[in-house]
């Protein structure tokens, strides 16, 4: 699972709240990428989820490309109090689809998270209605409003992320054609036919 979004929207905080049940105001900007793993139960199946936290800063975006491939779900995060972070979701999504080039991009699972809902309502710039409308227009992407600081809706969002990632993971079955017999038991006469 890969987490994308602008710098400062709370990607690292969300990941740490979900995996370690901890929040800190002291995070520094992620350089490149970092990841944590968590064992989760999805439909009575224990799975290990690897969550990749990527750098949101433009200067590190080219580093993210290597981490896009092989992702089973992409989480797009924005800060509900920062309009620019919402407006760039489209480019994060498009860039992911270009770089990861998943099979069946129209069905690839995304989850959108509007973070920092613990801030005072007057600071809010992106309404739930507007975010949900955007998600609907992109093929009914699941949308969650969270607070990594207050641990609001974080568990629920990641449950959906885990479920969607598991559905995406395709078991590749190799189909072998009929075997070719290499030890022929018929003897041939290589004599001259003249």
Q: Which fold has domain 2-168?
A: Rossmann fold (3.40.50)
Return the half-sphere exposure (C-beta side, CA atoms, 13 A cut-off) of residue 184.
3
The percent of residues in the chain predicted with pLDDT above 90, rounded, is 53
Q: Which residue has the higher pLDDT, 104 or 7?
A: 7
Cβ atoms within 10 Å, residue 193 = 4
Is the backbone of residue 99 left (phi > 0), alpha (psi -120 to 50) or beta?
alpha
Which of 170, 172, 169, 147 shows the shortest CA–CA distance to 157?
147
Confidence label for 172 from pLDDT (cuts 50, 70 and 90) = very low
Long-range Cβ contact pairs of 152-156 (< 8 A, separation 24 or more): 152/117, 152/118, 154/14, 154/17, 154/18, 155/18
Q: What is the pLDDT of residues 33-54, one digit of tens each?
A: 678 889 998 888 898 999 888 7
Q: Taking the model in full, what pTM does it have? A: 0.81
**Cβ atoms 92, 141 nearer than 8 A:** no
Provide the pLDDT for residue 54.
Answer: 77
Nearest-angstrom CA–CA distance, 138 and 15:
24
Which of 107, 148, 114 shows the shortest CA–CA distance to 131?
114
Could you tell me which residues are beta bridge partners of residue 48?
39
* Domain boundaries along the sequence of the chain: 2-168
Q: What is the pLDDT of residues 99-154, one digit of tens each?
A: 888 888 888 999 999 999 999 989 999 999 999 999 999 999 999 999 999 999 99
Nearest-angstrom CA–CA distance, 83 and 69:
28
Provide the pLDDT for residue 101.
Answer: 85
**Cβ atoms 112, 131 nearer than 8 A:** yes
């Amino acid at each position: 699972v890969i987490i994308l979004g602008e710098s400062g929207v709370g990607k690292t905080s969300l990941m740490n709240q979900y995996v370690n049940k901890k929040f800190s105001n002291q995070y520094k900007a992620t350089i490149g990428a970092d990841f944590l793993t968590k064992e989760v139960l999805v439909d009575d199946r224990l799975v290990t989820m690897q969550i990749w936290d990527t750098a949101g800063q433009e200067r590190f975006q080219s580093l993210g490309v290597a981490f896009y491939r092989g992702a089973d779900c992409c989480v797009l995060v924005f800060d509900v109090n920062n309009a620019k972070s919402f407006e760039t979701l489209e480019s994060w999504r498009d860039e992911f689809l270009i770089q990861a080039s998943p099979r069946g991009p129209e069905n690839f699972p995304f989850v959108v998270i509007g973070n920092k809902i613990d801030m005072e309502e007057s600071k809010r710039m992106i309404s739930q209605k507007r975010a949900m409308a955007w998600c609907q227009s992109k093929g009914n992407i699941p949308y969650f409003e969270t607070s990594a600081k207050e641990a609001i809706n974080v568990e629920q969002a990641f449950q959906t992320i885990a479920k969607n990632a598991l559905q995406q993971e395709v078991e590749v079955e190799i189909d072998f054609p009929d075997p070719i017999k290499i030890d022929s038991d018929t003897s041939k006469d290589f004599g001259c036919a003249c």
